[in-house]
Chain A
Amino acid sequence: MVDLSIKIKNVEFSNPVLVASGTFGYGNEVNELVDVNRLGGIVTKSITLHPREGNPPPRMVETPSGLLNSIGLANIGVERYISEMLPYYEELDTNVIMNIAGSSLQEYITILERVEGTSNYLSGYEINISCPNVEKGGLEFGVDCDLTLALTKELRKRTDKLLIMKLSPNVTDIASIAKAAELGGVDAISAINTVVGMSINPQTRKQNIFTGLSGLSGPAIRPVGVANVYKIFDAVDIPIIGIGGITSADDVVEYLLAGATAVQVGTANFRDPGIGIQIIKQLFEYCEEHNVPSIRELVGAIRDED
């Protein structure tokens, strides 16, 4: 019998396959198609203090084996999240992790405190630190070790729940950012967020996404994700959740071997909302076929030599 379960901090996951923030809405949109309880967990769409309309269109464009998107954090805001979504999550039999985005240190703190002040069944928080800090001239939290450390410390003080920092690959040294987060007391690192990209229409000479620069995701960035997980695994002792272009169990195993304890499936949900469940089934078959009694054995188990 294959054991797909994993544990991060005190949170048990029936399997290591979660769905990534921004690629699965709030988890209730796909009820008719997917039994979300079979997923290892759901990371919900980034929540900000106030509701956000998001960016004008076009917000998305296809690229080779991937997508560029710039949605602009369209979301319902923390108050509606608390009143409308938290009661729904109470009924679910899977881990729900809330993704939080802020434009200042205080905004992250306020959101987290507001949710911590409710009785809720969230398994934890994932912090989107690829957000511009208005107090530092728009510098993203996630590109600076000191900002990452300060943010982590402040949030850590305010919750005992699972706390995850989601790192951006658009930095010079992702390992040092991961170390800063570890020093600040996070329980896990998720990596990677989207890779900065751009696409221009040669006929019209216009940019294909309203904001110009946008985030690349999908299989196109999988090698970037795997490389970053590999670098982070070398640098920290806390678990890593691998993200970037996962479409199959083989992709999951690739991330685990590079050092991830769990993974998040993202862009593939747009094609197949049930892909996460299919991957879990494939993962089970992989383990049977390769005599892997526990999926945990694969973490960081890349072979250096024959």
Chain B
Amino acid sequence: MKIEVASISGNKEIARGIWKMDFDCPNIANNVSGPGQFINIKVDPSWEIPLRRPMSIAGVKGEKITIIYKLFGKGTKMLSELRPGQSINILGPLGNMFSTSDKDSFPILVGGGVGIAPILWLHNELNIKSVSHILIIGATTAEEHFLQHNPNKNIFLTTDDGSMGELGTVVPTMESKLKEVTSRSFGIIYACGPTPMLKAIHRITTGYKIDCQMALESYMGCGIGICQSCVIERKNDSPKEHSYGKRFSLVCRDGPVYSADKVILSSRYFKVSGKKT
């Protein structure tokens, strides 16, 4: 964990409302462990935006870190206005990572909405390790996609309006791929995205009795465990870790990646309301 003033080397819109930023931050980049980890960005040097913005890492190349973010509110708006050459204060790397096994599990990676970044990084890591896998990315419409739908390469894009790839959400595509995969291997799902998507995925993976790891979001104050804000509800039998009890878990320290059967996704507290703008 370090704080570093990083120099921005690129910041552009790669699809409608989806931005990609690269910056040089050797100290943090050298300490990164893997997909799922995030950084916490001080977007506003003044106090108009009091808190840092947690952003999942989308890739690390040498001393460069890439994030992919969706324009959502004033924090991400301010982020999108930064230009190459400008600097930005970063805290990281934070959080845990997806755990990947060497066994021939033929993973399925599912990303939707703001949850593309860690899934994309995992996709690239698995490619480097030559691990066969399926990538499914969802968006509302074609303009929000920056990848190409390519079933031959096991890359499936979905759109709510059918304007690109498969029609509908990522869920039916995932289920049909899961049927194919589980007929010949263990199957494991890695997912990140909006809560309704995660709930649907969990329902399906529970039915198929296969592992599902999810990178979760939460309203985060500090990112390092001192404010105790970013809790999610977990199953009470889980061992206590960084939060002070058994019922709640700190996403910043215990997460953001959780095994889907260790958290209560149906919890009335598990919601995206109160998202930072």
Query: Could you tell me which A residues sit within 8 Å of B by CB distance?
Result: 22-25, 29-30, 32-33, 45, 51-54, 56-67, 69, 71, 74-76, 201, 204, 206, 208-210, 218-219, 247, 267, 269-274
Contact = CB atoms under 8 A, between A and B. Distances in A.
B266 to A, nearest CB: 14
Contacts of B47: 65-66, 218-219, 247
Contact of B228 (A63, A71, A209): A71
A273 B224 contact: yes
Contacts of B81: none
Interface size class of chain B, counting residues whose CB lies under 8 Å from the partner chain: 35 or more
Given A52-B244, A74-B244, A271 B227 contact: no
Contacts of B49: 62
B219 A271 contact: no
Name the residue among A52, A56, A210, A219 with the largest chain B CB count within 10 angstroms.
Answer: A56
Nearest to B242: A29
Nearest to A69: B229
B48 interface: yes
B19 to A, nearest CB: 21
B233 interface: yes
B183 interface: no
Interface string B1-12: 111000000000
Given A57-B231, A69-B229, A271-B50, A62 B3 contact: no
Nearest to A61: B274
B208 interface: no
B273 A29 contact: no
B244 A76 contact: yes
Given A33-B3, A210-B269, A54 B219 contact: no
Chain A contact residues: helix, strand, loop or mixed: loop
Contact of B50 (A25, A29, A52, A267): A267
Interface in B206-232: 218-219, 221-222, 224-232
A62 B226 CA distance: 16
Interface of B: 1-3, 42, 47-52, 91, 218-219, 221-222, 224-233, 243-248, 269, 273-274, 276
A62 B51 contact: yes
Contact of A56 (B225, B233, B243): B233
A71 B274 contact: no
A73 B204 CA distance: 37
B225 A29 contact: yes
Given A30-B224, A74-B228, 6 more contacts: A52-B245, A53-B245, A58-B273, A61-B219, A67-B50, A218-B50
B249 to A, nearest CB: 11
A146 to B, nearest CB: 33
B269 A56 contact: yes
Contacts of B273: 58, 201, 204, 206, 208
B274 A208 contact: yes
